[in-house]
Amino acid sequence: MAADSTDLSVQVDHLGPHPLVRLSGDVDAESAPALTETLRAVLTTIGTKPLVLDLTEVEFMDSSGLGVLIGAHQQAAVQGGALILANPHPRVAKVLRITKLHKVFTVTETVEEALASEA
């Protein structure tokens, strides 16, 4: 399953221990609706498994993008699962710190660490 917006590429991989969604590009008002749809679909199919979001190649995220992450986090929690943010780009990590969302989400320094997580 893949969704593309003008500036965002989304790849979903179910081959590892946890489903992995790799994002590349900007997560903003333009790309947020398609990303929301993709994350809802993935979360619906995985039940209580943690979902890993690879943010390595996301250099920009605005409030719409943060809203998508919060919505996915809430959906995962309701299902008994978790959303793990892996390797956020320094700019995105700064936004997470400024908004204090780094205390809400499980954030790992690497994708490998996220995939090994039991969150």
Residues of the chain with pLDDT under 50: 1-6
pTM, to two decimals: 0.90
pLDDT value of residue 4 = 43
pLDDT value of residue 118 = 73
Contact residues for 103 (Cβ-Cβ < 8 A; gap 6+)? none
pLDDT value of residue 14 = 87
pLDDT value of residue 119 = 62
- CA-CA distance, 98 to 79, in Å (whole number)? 28
List domains and CATH numbers for the chain. 2-116 (3.30.750.24)
pLDDT value of residue 1 = 42
- CA-CA distance, 85 to 94, in Å (whole number)? 13
pLDDT tens by residue, 46-59 = 999 999 999 999 99
pLDDT value of residue 117 = 86
